Amino acid sequence: MKYGLAWILIIATAILLGAGWVQAGGMKIRAERSAATPEEAVRSFLADIQAHNWDHAYSMLDHSHDVQQADFVREIAGSDGSLRTYSSLQSYEIWPVHAESGRATLRVRMNWSSAVGSLDDVRDLSLVQDGNVWKVIWPKPNLANVPLQVLPVNYLRWDLIGRRSDDWGTGSVDTPQVRIISMNAVERPDGLVILGEVENEDTVPAYLNVSATLLKTDGSPLAQQDTFDAIAHSLLPKQVSPYRIDFPGYRLKDVKSVRMDARPLLVPASADPVIAAENQNIEKDALGRSILKGSIVNQSGQVVNIAQVLGAFYDTNGKVVWVANGYVDQALMPQAPVPFALDIPPDVASRIHSYHVVVNHYSAPSA
C-alpha cells in the first residue's frame, strides 16, 4: 500500500508537469522546430525568437551572409536601453509571397508587446533550401559603430533653481504662457478625435498636457480625455507640437461643443539632444498601408535610449487633418540614422498636402 501510494503520486506529478509543459507551448514549440517547408522553417524560427532561444534561432539562419550571432541577437533583442529591450514577441502572422526551386519569400508581421503598447514589424524573409531543410536568409545587421571623437557642446539650457524636491513643476515665477493654435474635431470609424497644435509662447521651457471635454447641448460634460503620449510634452520657447485626443465610441452628433485646456508647468530643460528627421516620404508598405517613412538622426554626442516620432499632417488650407505617433524600438546612437514609419488612415492620405515631424526622446541618467 505504501509503494502504491508513492507510484500514484509520481504518476500524478508527471501528468501535471506534462500538462503544464503543453499549456506553456512546449508541444507547439517542438512541432514548430520542423523546417521541411519554408513556412515550417519561419514558424520554428519565430517560435525560437518568442522563447528567447537564440542559439537555435541562429542555427536556422543561412550563414553564407556572415551574420555574427552577437549582432543577430543585438538586432532582435535590442541594446543600449532601447525600447526593444523592454519588448517581447507577442504574436506573428505569415503569408507566402514567392516560391521557386530551392528559394522562397514569406511576408511576416510580428507584433511586439512593449512598455508603451504594441509595435508592429512587417518584413519579407527570404529562405533557401539546404538539403532537406530550409534556412532563413537574414540580412547582415547595420549596427551603428560610432568612432571615438570629441564633440563640442554649445546648446542652450534652462535650469530651475530655488525649488524643493516636493514642488516639481512650480517655482517663484509665472506659469509659462502656452496657446492652443488650432483645434479640429474629426469623426473616425471607431470614435471622435480632437486634433491640433499647441505652442509655447514664452521664453522659458514648459512641460505641457492638453485635455478636451466634450459638452452636451445643455452644456454639461459628456466625456473628458487628455493627450496621453500623442504630444511632445516638453516644449522649448516658441516650439510647436501637434496633439491628438481620442474619444472611442463617441460621435459628432452627440457633441454641442468642445472645451480645451492646456496645463503647462515650469521645468528645467535643454536644447540637447537635437534629433533631425530626414528623407521623409509618404508611400505604401508591404501590406498596402499608407505610411510616412523616413529616418531620424541624433545630432548630439549622447545616446538617446527611446525616441517617439509625432507627425502632423495638413491639407491644402494648412488645417491639421491627422496626427500620428509611433515609437522607434532602436536606441539612437550619435550621428547614426534610424528608420521610422507612421501609419496614415487611407481616407486621410489622399488629402495630405504637407506634414511636419517632431521627435520626443528619453535618455537614461548617466551613471
Measured CA to CA, the distance from residue 221 to residue 219 in angstroms comes to: 7
Fold topology of 25-137: Nuclear Transport Factor 2; Chain: A, (3.10.450)
pLDDT digits (tens, 9 = 90+) for 17-41: 555 544 444 444 444 456 789 999 9
Would you report the helix, strand and coil content of the chain in percent, each value rounded to 5?
A: 20, 45, 35
In which residue ranges of the chain is CATH 2.60.40.10 found?
157-270, 275-362
Instruction: State the distance between the two ends of the chain, measured CA to CA, in whole angstroms.
Output: 64
Residue entry with cell 535618455? 363
> Can you say how many angstroms the Cα of residue 17 is from the centroid of all Cα atoms in its chain?
37
> Can you say how many angstroms the Cα of residue 232 is from the centroid of all Cα atoms in its chain?
15
Measured CA to CA, the distance from residue 156 to residue 137 in angstroms comes to: 47
Fold topology of 157-270: Immunoglobulin-like (2.60.40)
SS3 95: strand
Per-residue cell: 292 = 510616412
Measured CA to CA, the distance from residue 144 to residue 224 in angstroms comes to: 43
Measured CA to CA, the distance from residue 111 to residue 91 in angstroms comes to: 5
Measured CA to CA, the distance from residue 113 to residue 229 in angstroms comes to: 17
pLDDT digits (tens, 9 = 90+) for 98-127: 999 899 999 999 999 998 889 999 999 999
Measured CA to CA, the distance from residue 230 to residue 44 in angstroms comes to: 37
| 300 within 8 A of 274, measured Cβ to Cβ | yes
| 336 within 8 A of 144, measured Cβ to Cβ | yes
HEC string for 34-92: CCCCHHHHHHHHHHHHHCCCHHHHHHCECHHHCCCHHHHHHHHHCCCCCHHHHCEEEEE
| 83 within 8 A of 116, measured Cβ to Cβ | yes
How far from 30 is each of 27, 66, 91, 253, CA to CA, in Å?
5, 27, 17, 54
Cα-based angle 39, 45, 47 (whole degrees, multiple of 5): 100
Q: Count Cα neighbours of 108 within 13 Å in the Cβ-side half-sphere.
A: 26
In which residue ranges of the chain is CATH 3.10.450.100 found?
25-137
| pTM for this model (two decimals) | 0.81
Amino acid 30: pLDDT: 45
Amino acid 150: pLDDT: 81
Residues of the chain with confidence (pLDDT) below 50: 1-9, 21-32, 367
The side-by-side arrangement of strands in the sheet containing 133-137 is 88-100, 103-114, 117-130, 133-137
Measured CA to CA, the distance from residue 73 to residue 87 in angstroms comes to: 14
**For the domain bounded by 275-362, which CATH number is listed?**
2.60.40.10
